[in-house]
Amino acid sequence: MASLAYGQLKRIDELISKKRSDYRLFRSLLGDLDDITLNPEPAGVINGAWATGVVFSRDCGLTGKDAMAALAQKGIPTRPFFHPLSSLPAYSDNTTGGQDVNPVAYSLHMRGLHLPCALTMTEDQVEFVALAIREFVVGSA
């Protein structure tokens, strides 16, 4: 296992470059849509772009779950946005509270999803996914 990790670390610049390339392509194809937000990249910060996340605006009424179902019909695998820790069984007895105490985390989870992020994705595949997201957002308006 350590040798696998070491092998990946030796290629870290290549791997991050590919992830960032896909992220930039998603951003260029979807960045004009007012009803979604992609991973932020504030000035002075370099986003490693492990996965490109999409969060739908509160006002548009779209959910990550609905988007995941629509994309699955086109054969596009996605993953849910991060679950709030306080929603996981391992943390059910802690005192961090639920949705009433952590409304932002719960809202983001409901409105977000992660797009495919395999290192083997081609530009055509990224474009296919972006077009499907665009169709979902514009078609739901």
CATH number of this structure's domain 14-41+48-90+98-139: 3.90.1150.10
Helix (H) or strand (E) holding 2: helix 2-10
pTM for this one?
0.87
- Per-residue pLDDT tens for 25-66? 999 999 999 999 999 989 999 888 899 999 999 999 999 999
DSSP secondary structure, 86-100, as one string: GGSGGGTTSSS--TT
Average pLDDT of the chain? 90
- Cα 66 to chain centroid, rounded: 14
**Size of the chain, expressed as the number of residues it contains:** 141
Centre a 10 Å sphere on the Cβ of residue 26 and count the other Cβ atoms it contains.
23
The crossing angle, in degrees rounded to 10, of helices 12-30 and 123-139 is 30
Query: Tell me: the pLDDT tens digits for 91-134?
Result: 777 666 777 778 898 999 999 999 999 999 999 999 999 999 99
Q: Which of 4-8, 52-56, 82-86 has the highest mean pLDDT?
A: 52-56
SS3 140: coil
pLDDT of residue 48: 86
